[in-house]
Amino acid sequence: MPQEYAAQGQARQERRADEEHQPVERAQAQPQADALDQVLDDIAATLETNAQDYVSSFVQQGGQ
């Protein structure tokens, strides 16, 4: 029983420590998410206006 109580207390402390770091991790991840969204928006806009040229830019000569 004492071991179970100690393990539960340790688990609570670990959860609290994880919760304390979450806002920092989210704040750091937001600029990366914004940059990724911008890249995806650029690709989508290019595909809407010029899909054939976009795709052909990835195809090598001879269909390789």
What is the residue-averaged pLDDT of the chain? 74
Residues 26-42: tens digit of each pLDDT: 667 788 899 999 999 99
The reported pTM is 0.43
- The pLDDT value given to residue 40: 94
Domain coordinates of the chain in residue numbers? 2-58
Question: Which residues, 6 or more positions from 43, have their beta carbon under 8 angstroms from its beta carbon?
Answer: 54
- Around Cβ 45, how many Cβ atoms within 10 Å? 10
- Report CA 24 to chain centroid distance, whole Å: 15
What distance in Å separates the CA atoms of residue 26 and residue 22, rounded to the nearest whole number? 6
- The pLDDT value given to residue 53: 84
User: What is the pLDDT averaged over residues 8-18?
Assistant: 65
